[in-house]
Amino acid sequence: MLRNQLRPAVVLTLLLCVLTGIIYPGVVTGLAQLLFPSQANGSRVTSGGRVVGSALIGQPFSRPEYFHPRPSAAGTGYDATASGGTNKGPTDRKLADTLIAGAVDKVVQEDGAVRGRIPADMVTASGSGLDPHVSPANAELQVARVDVQPCAMLQYDGLRREVDEGLQHQHDHDDVVEVADAGDLVRDQVER
């Protein structure tokens, strides 16, 4: 009697392991490679023929001629293996006094922002700490800094227009600007 129950259980377990562990993932991977090859391979960003990052993960641009992403709480910065927020809430004194205050000072110094009028995403990390997008208000504040750099050959109005054209509407969220795309725009202009 035990044999009659054990055999179907083992056969069904092995069948489901093969079906859900090999066949289904193989079909989904094959379809993804066929229909969405860029996304299936990690939405890689290339420069000079080599992979320099992913459009899905923020990059730590810090040079003044590039658009800067929002701060990262992931490891030492944009470390996908340490994804996560700070776990500090809006009423946490340490968050306000150390992390945000330092970021506000940096934004005021680098971008000429006015205290109290700085977009929240310019001084706070996203939930994952890896967000590659910034708000239009954040990008707008950075346009003036990027434009005055000697290697930024776009005029202010042209750079603003490119940022406006780069807006992406994400599902139910507000419009966003992808920092890597904005940085590529400046780099492309410099290399011409």
Q: Domain segments of the chain: what residues?
A: 2-37, 45-191
Three-state DSSP at 53 gives strand
Strands (E), 13-132: 44-47, 50-54
When pLDDT is cut at 50, 70 and 90, the band that residue 160 belongs to is low
Residue-by-residue DSSP string for 122-185: GTS--SSS---EE-HHHHHHHHHHHHHSTT--S-HHHHHHHHHHTEEE-TTS-EEEEHHHHHHH
> 149 falls in which pLDDT band (50, 70, 90)?
low
Q: pTM of the full predicted structure?
A: 0.64
Decide if pLDDT at 30 tops 80: yes
Choose between 44 and 62: higher pLDDT: 44
Cβ atoms of residues 42 and 51 within 8 Å = no
d(CA 112, CA 124): 18
